[in-house]
Structure 1
Amino acid sequence: MRSGWYNNLSLIFGVKIRHNWFLLCFICILALVALLSSSSTSNREFDSLVPPRLPNVYTNYRKLKEQSVIDYFDLRFLTSVTNSRLKELPLCWKERENYVPCYNVSANLEIELKDGEEFDRHCELLRNEEKCLVRPPKEYKIPLRWPAGRDVIWSGNVKITKDQFLSSGSMTKRMMLLEENQIAFHNDDGLIFDGVKDYTRQLAESIGLGSDSDFLQAGVQNVLDIGCGFGSFGAHLVSLKLLPVCIAAYEVTGSQVQLALERGLPAMLGNFISRQLPYPSLSFDMVHCAQCGIDWDGKDGMFIIEVDRLLRPGGYFVLTSPVIRPQGSLLAIKKGNMLTPVEDFTQRICWSLLDQQDETFIWQKTADGHCYTTRSQGLPLCQDEHESQSYYGPLVKCISGTHSKRWMPLRNRCNGSQLTLEELEVHGKYYSIYAGVQHGEFYEEREIWKSSLRNYWSLITPLIFSDHPKRPGDEDPLPPYNMVRNVMDMNAYYGGFNAALVDGKKSAWVMNVVPVGTRNTLPLILDQGFAGVLHDWCEPFPTYPRSYDMLHASGLFSFLSLEKCSMMDLFLEMDRILRPEGWVILSDNVGAIEMARMHATQIRWEARVIDPQNGSDERILVCQKPFLRK
């Protein structure tokens, strides 16, 4: 009896002891969370640092989704802090210094991809690989600041060897000068025949302008440059306050895109061998191809149809290519009054050949949407589902955009690249219907980012990570206007962060990324004259390593938690595309930011959490990537 009573009593007290032990552990965890949050608070108030919380009408379902995000991050954080300290990830082996995911030619050939598709982007074939940090090459150096970095780059920063340079012909040697460990670019006399300035002046005169400085006034702002060469054309357009975005196919060595990005010019990997580019219809004022290697009369004209999809009404297609070709190809010399295949096809889709000088042809797309119904024999108008498809959808043989509210001819942009209040009022009906954007929230976002930029700019200084109790204050000098050049906004909303950089006269361009699955505001971003692209952040971004000086994201991680993306894979991708000593500014709710801080620690970033101290649950994570060699 005594033995049974004693055992029962011991069992009861044992349960109580275990219960109290678990309760004590839970209290300690909560205390640790509070301590981490308070210790990471800045000593100064960043009253305007909170990312825009734009007014929306939330349904009960959406509120439940938002609460589930908060609960998810709280659970993940509580689970992680009870585990042992997460290990830092190792550096990748030397062969992956220039690693670009989703571009694996040998794997593509194994599944019998051909006709150029083996060089295309195939993220669906991406295998689980070792998680490691892509290291910079041994000769890598921090790029020179803009504008010096536009004309001189370190040869060790790009994958082009001296032997490749010397064997590339006299044209390359006129464009670039290789001296010891530097490559110097000659923008004045580097492109095509008589130099880039003469070339652009010729283009301007062909479309009825007095000089290339009149492009902006004529409505030409956004230019898609297919095959950017060594960036001379894009660099000159930037000096004219135009925004050229270069795309080119993936190259193992001597990459055009890598060279352009290294020079501080907008560029990304892209081609349309079999799939559309990740831009919506009616996105560009001009599409330019100078010996870009595309067989324009191939695939029954589908490449030209893709250009037509991308061009705004009244936009221009510029093609510079050698005239002497085998008979029957794109620019074969005419016999009598016979039209070449491309000339015949462009007439069917209502393009007008404005001018032909030597090797340069210039067409203009019609601004009359009714023309297609009378002249495009055998080419139907696309249905709505085709017009909205712009994220690597298959090439289609139909005319896009004619039913779009954005079917508007090129308009005068003499007031600059950003939309004025009057322009927004004129086109407000389109923005309200297509993108769900209200005037109030559009301008509210602009004002919030404009007031936040000074505080953000003060954070990109190593002082924020120092042990000194003082933090950057109003009396401290801000970093120079050219502190960063290549910037990516990973969740761009309406482009307000980009607009703030322009208003603040910072010498930066922004790749505005609209995540797939969010409200598609990319047309609004492009219509402001900014660069932008659709992208699925569960996949790698199509660019080379060390492409950007700064990555910015507001509210991205809360969204991606619902998309079931791997946060560690995302941070590894961010580290891959960020330059050494580059900056990351992230804003989100406290749970998401604490999770992000732990991932940042794993990939060896310097990281600091800042509390805006305005009573909200928003937090700012500021990170700097160190220069790791081994």
Structure 2
Amino acid sequence: MVTPPAPAPTLSGGRNPLMRPFIEIILLSILCFLSYIFGSQNLSSSSFIQDPSSCFHIKNLTNLQIPTLEFEPHHFLPLPEDQSPEQTQFFPFCPDNFTDYCPCQDPYRANQFIYSAKYFFHRERHCPDKSETLRCLIPSPKGYRKPFPWPKSRDYAWFNNVPFPSLTELKKQQNWVQLKGDRLLFPGGGTSFVEGVKGYVDDINRIVPLKNGLIRTVLDIGCGVASFGAHLMDYNILTMSVAPRDIHEAQVQFALERGVPAILGILGVHRLPFPSRSFDMSHCSRCLVPWTDRDGLYLLEIDRVLRPGGYWVLSGPPINWRVSYKGWNRTREDLENEQNRLEDIARRLCWRKVKETGTIAVWQKPKNHIHCSKKLKTWKSLDFCSQSDPDSAWYRKMEPCITPLQQVTGIKDTSGGVLEKWPKRSNVFPHRAVETGMTKEAFYEYNREWRNRVSYYGIVIQSLFTGKYRNIMDMNAGMGGFAAALSKYPVWVMNVVPHDTGNNTLGAIYERGFIGTYMNWCEPFSTYPRTYDLIHADNIFSMYLNKCDISDILFEMYRMLRPEGAIVIRDHVDMIVKIRRITERMRWESKLSHSQRGPLHSEKILFVGNSL
């Protein structure tokens, strides 16, 4: 049987406890209504404000100090100007004979210096005057095709992309390159390794530790078609291949078409465009450099760019002269004297000869100059350089002195500090970053920022990480953050540091295990047309705004970029607007985007290219 609910509790006398609050609410409502009626009548019988001083104290309103509000814009975009037809029409294409034009290594201009200077000066950079600067677009050769992707490009290239058959005939017996139908085949041969570069590198690896990560950056002088540098990539070694534009006119172009780093250059009168202590190893395979001429000046330059403890590898004359002198068409006495002079220069540089076996000889630079400084006082031959900046290398003449290493306390200490093995060194705070004023905390934050930036780039350029882009240039590399963010992908980056930036970071970039060069972007770069897949320009146009015409920089970017390539430009919004007007006249499509700093920040990003 269900029990009925108990009755609600009541006060004594049976009165409901909810009745009293209800009565109070009714009385409060009546009072509020009467107050409203009374106030309305009082207001109607008097004026609202009789004395200004009695209300809100606004008598001295005109004397109040009201803060000035800023309504001016922070970003200035000029109104569209009436442009002449010349300012809106497309730029013309250059004549077909400019297809492989290298402005600063033009053979016609070089011939003007061939009789007026010695020491290969005519093979160095000789850029056109402003009056000679082209204002046209370099055309692609007929039948041009998209290059093979890496790693297939290491072995194959389309002949129409680099239509130079001379090397296929001139170096046929040495297996540099072969023509097979519409393709060029690179079998891996060379002047000193006719049977193949693999066995040659294996021989070097028995002398120099190539596999353990200590060797990361290599300089290859007289690189040919860069088969040596191409094969070193199997060891995670990055090689800067250097060769002039000479009778082997397209060797650097072949190298870049293969996806291997290379620039036009020569050991002539001026320093190589690299800072001191840059390379873990330097290599010459019958590179035709007269090492013993000019009292060993070229070896002094190699010593400058070698890192403490770095290696110099030489194959070709005069090494192994007892066996090879007949093939070189030289006498035994001549070659023996050359080797003796070479050994003497190496000794005066305080280099230690590691080994000579077969066609290969290897020397090692000292880790510090404690012993060397004592020996030089005894020999009284070479002196240490005392005045010049060892990192100054843009149109700076070579000097007949030894570049001094930083002082150390112990005989076994490495000058400048010991570097981590690759790949750890890419993200470790470089010793030379201290020279730029950067702290460890700022360095790691800098790396994080660039990882975020590159991730954002990948959203717009969706093929950035898929292998479409191989050869990449950073026109204003800073501390190498862009290259570091891309290091896990199958790309390489030419890190360019403007020589007049005021903050020389290229040495720190090399310490991180990357490569690069100095540059003045008012001049053309030392490369062939169509050699880069992607070009990154971080505030480069603002940097050069008052130094030269930004249109000339864009023409140079057009010359270097492959037809299917892309450009990423970060700069102030005002500069971006100017740039976009010019790129439209170059028949380039573009996309404008905010940076990671948001829509209110003046920095914007322009993605340029017809295949984004």
How far apart in 2 are the matches of 1:404 and 1:155?
A: 52
- Aligned: 1:301 with 2:301: no
Identify the structure with bigger relative contact order (alpha carbons < 8 Å, sequence gap 6+). Answer: 1
Map 1:20-59 → 2, pairs under 5 A: none
Moved more, 191-200 or 302-311: 191-200
How far apart in 2 are the matches of 1:614 and 1:404?
A: 50
3-state SS of the aligned residue for 1:449? Answer: helix
How far apart in 2 are the matches of 1:213 and 1:490?
A: 31
Q: CA deviation at 1:339?
A: 6.4
In the other structure, the counterpart of 1:598 is 581
- Aligned: 1:114 with 2:117: yes
Output one character per residue of 1:551-594: Cα deviation in whole Å (capped at 9) or x when no partner.
001111111113x2111111000000000010001011100111
Which residue, out of 573, 579, 602, partners 1:617? 602
In the other structure, the counterpart of 2:201 is 200
Name stretches of at least 5 consecutive residues in structure 1 with no aligned partner: 1-69, 462-477
Output one character per residue of 1:400-455: Cα deviation in whole Å (capped at 9) or x when no partner.
142479933664505545143xxx3xx65x522x1121222221221112122222
The letter of the residue matching 1:588 is D
The letter of the residue matching 2:94 is C
Q: CA deviation at 1:614?
A: 3.7
Identity of aligned residues (%): 32
3-state SS of the aligned residue for 1:481? Answer: coil
- Aligned: 1:356 with 2:359: no
How far apart in 2 are the matches of 1:366 and 1:586?
A: 43
- Aligned: 1:553 with 2:537: yes
How far apart in 2 are the matches of 1:552 and 1:132?
A: 22
Output one character per residue of 1:595-615: Cα deviation in whole Å (capped at 9) or x when no partner.
111111121111121124442
The letter of the residue matching 2:277 is L
Q: CA deviation at 1:275?
A: 0.5
- Aligned: 1:508 with 2:506: no
In the other structure, the counterpart of 1:268 is 263
In the other structure, the counterpart of 1:168 is 171
How far apart in 1 are the matches of 2:127 and 2:189?
A: 40
Output one character per residue of 1:349-408: Cα deviation in whole Å (capped at 9) or x when no partner.
101111112221111111131233233433221124242321120010111142479933
Change (3 A) 1:542 1:328: farther
Change (3 A) 1:404 1:530: farther
Q: Is this contact kept in 2: 1:98–1:545, CA < 8 A?
A: yes
- Aligned: 1:438 with 2:439: yes
Map 1:34-433 → 2, pairs under 5 A: 78=79, 83=84, 85-110=87-112, 112-115=115-118, 116-123=120-127, 127-161=131-165, 164-172=167-175, 175-187=176-188, 192-207=193-208, 209=209, 212-214=210-212, 216=213, 219-251=214-246, 254-322=249-317, 323=321, 324=325, 326=330, 332-333=335-336, 340-376=340-376, 377-403=380-406, 407-408=415-416, 411-413=419-421, 415-420=423-428, 424=429, 428=431, 430-432=432-434
3-state SS of the aligned residue for 1:282? Answer: coil
How far apart in 2 are the matches of 1:137 and 1:318?
A: 38
Q: CA deviation at 1:189?
A: 9.5
How far apart in 2 are the matches of 1:81 and 1:292?
A: 57
Output one character per residue of 1:65-87: Cα deviation in whole Å (capped at 9) or x when no partner.
xxxxx99x958x55856555522
Name stretches of at least 5 consecutive residues in structure 2 with no aligned partner: 1-72, 409-413
How far apart in 2 are the matches of 1:186 and 1:124?
A: 37
3-state SS of the aligned residue for 1:561? Answer: coil
3-state SS of the aligned residue for 2:335? Answer: coil
How far apart in 2 are the matches of 1:171 and 1:328?
A: 24
Q: CA deviation at 1:113?
A: 2.9
How far apart in 2 are the matches of 1:284 and 1:122?
A: 26
How far apart in 2 are the matches of 1:480 and 1:513?
A: 22
Change (3 A) 1:453 1:626: closer
Change (3 A) 1:622 1:302: same
Q: Is this contact kept in 2: 1:264–1:486, CA < 8 A?
A: yes
The letter of the residue matching 1:229 is G
Q: CA deviation at 1:97?
A: 0.3
Change (3 A) 1:555 1:164: closer
How far apart in 2 are the matches of 1:307 and 1:190?
A: 21
How far apart in 2 are the matches of 1:415 and 1:273?
A: 34
Change (3 A) 1:190 1:182: farther
- Aligned: 1:492 with 2:477: yes
In the other structure, the counterpart of 2:526 is 542
Q: Is this contact kept in 2: 1:282–1:401, CA < 8 A?
A: no
3-state SS of the aligned residue for 1:388? Answer: coil
Q: How many residues align?
A: 517
How far apart in 2 are the matches of 1:309 and 1:541?
A: 23
Q: Is this contact kept in 2: 1:102–1:126, CA < 8 A?
A: no
How far apart in 2 are the matches of 1:193 and 1:303?
A: 26
How far apart in 1 are the matches of 2:418 and 2:335?
A: 31
How far apart in 2 are the matches of 1:285 and 1:264?
A: 21
Q: CA deviation at 1:246?
A: 0.3
Change (3 A) 1:318 1:459: same
Q: CA deviation at 1:107?
A: 3.4
Q: CA deviation at 1:96?
A: 0.4
Change (3 A) 1:435 1:124: farther
The letter of the residue matching 1:521 is T
3-state SS of the aligned residue for 2:591? Answer: strand
In the other structure, the counterpart of 2:448 is 447
The letter of the residue matching 1:378 is S
Moved more, 250-259 or 361-370: 250-259
Change (3 A) 1:362 1:126: farther
The letter of the residue matching 2:605 is I
Q: CA deviation at 1:124?
A: 6.2
Provide TM-score, normalisation by structure 2: 0.79
Change (3 A) 1:227 1:610: same
Change (3 A) 1:414 1:166: closer
Q: CA deviation at 1:254?
A: 4.3
Q: Is this contact kept in 2: 1:314–1:410, CA < 8 A?
A: no
3-state SS of the aligned residue for 1:165? Answer: helix
Q: Is this contact kept in 2: 1:545–1:577, CA < 8 A?
A: yes
Which residue, out of 480, 483, 486, partners 2:468? 483
Q: CA deviation at 1:521?
A: 0.7
Q: Is this contact kept in 2: 1:120–1:250, CA < 8 A?
A: no
Q: Is this contact kept in 1: 2:275–2:506, CA < 8 A?
A: yes
Output one character per residue of 1:288-310: Cα deviation in whole Å (capped at 9) or x when no partner.
00011111111111000000001
Q: Is this contact kept in 2: 1:490–1:553, CA < 8 A?
A: yes
Q: CA deviation at 1:493?
A: 1.1
How far apart in 1 are the matches of 2:571 and 2:150?
A: 31
Q: Is this contact kept in 2: 1:606–1:625, CA < 8 A?
A: yes
How far apart in 2 are the matches of 1:605 and 1:119?
A: 34
3-state SS of the aligned residue for 1:213? Answer: coil
Q: CA deviation at 1:108?
A: 4.1
Change (3 A) 1:535 1:454: same
